[in-house]
């Protein structure tokens, strides 16, 4: 199987939960993966290996939210065929939690520099109402709307080994506290 494209989508909610959905598309002219998909035991074994492999890559990174290290975990792996038996995909869901605060927040990821083996895109959707203040990926990026940032990494380009997003999270407005002792 030859990787041909990757998608990475991050969502961040106000509670500090980060969810990453990664999809890798492959070209498999020999249809090897199709044979694995047709055998539930082999598929289960393969997905376990794939999950462990991805987790080891993630464990090698140093991910921080507001200067405190967090530990992303692969919580799900699935695989299938996209459009024909020669086009399998693998999907990962990764989660971690960081302590966000009103005002400026920073996400940082330090990892081993690498050469991209295939094109891929990355999109971040930060909490509603937040806005990107600054970012560093080693690639040109776009912001729009204010809480969405995206970039593309072309095949053959060197990844810098460090990513940073500085974003502003406004205070919640309209917080109401109900005094249960005063309910008449």
Tens digit of pLDDT for each residue in 4-56? Answer: 999 999 999 999 999 999 999 999 999 999 999 999 999 999 999 999 999 99
Instruction: Name the 3-class secondary structure at 49.
Output: helix
Q: Residue 78: what pLDDT?
A: 96
User: For residue 181, is it within any domain?
Assistant: no
Lowest mean pLDDT among 62-66, 90-94, 160-164, 169-173: 169-173
User: For residue 36, is it within any domain?
Assistant: yes
User: For residue 182, is it within any domain?
Assistant: no
User: For residue 178, is it within any domain?
Assistant: no
User: For residue 122, is it within any domain?
Assistant: yes
Q: Count the domains in the chain.
A: 1
**Other beta carbons less than 10 A from residue 151's beta carbon:** 17
User: For residue 90, is it within any domain?
Assistant: yes
Among residues 54, 63, 145, the alpha carbon closest in space to that of 96 is found at: 63
**Domain containing 84: what range?**
2-173
- 107 burial (CB, 10 Å; 0-12 / 13-18 / 19+) is buried
Q: Residue 53: what pLDDT?
A: 97
User: For residue 26, is it within any domain?
Assistant: yes
């Amino acid at each position: 199987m030859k990787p041909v494209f990757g998608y990475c989508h991050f969502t961040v909610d106000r509670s500090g939960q980060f969810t990453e959905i990664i999809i890798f598309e492959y070209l498999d002219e020999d249809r090897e993966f199709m044979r694995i998909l047709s055998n539930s035991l082999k598929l289960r074994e393969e997905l376990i290996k794939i999950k462990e492999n991805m987790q080891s890559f993630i464990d090698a990174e140093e991910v921080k939210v507001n200067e405190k290290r967090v530990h992303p975990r692969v919580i799900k792996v699935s695989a299938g065929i996209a459009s024909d038996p020669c086009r399998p995909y693998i999907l990962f869901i990764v989660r971690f939690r960081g302590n966000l605060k009103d005002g400026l927040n920073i996400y940082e990821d330090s990892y081993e520099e690498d050469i991209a083996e295939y094109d891929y895109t990355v999109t971040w959707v930060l909490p509603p109402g937040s806005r990107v203040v600054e970012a560093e990926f080693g690639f040109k990026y776009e912001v729009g709307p204010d809480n969405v940032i995206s970039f593309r990494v072309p095949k053959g380009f060197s990844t810098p080994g460090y990513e940073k997003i500085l974003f502003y999270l406004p205070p919640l407005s309209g917080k109401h506290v109900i005094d249960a002792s005063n309910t008449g």
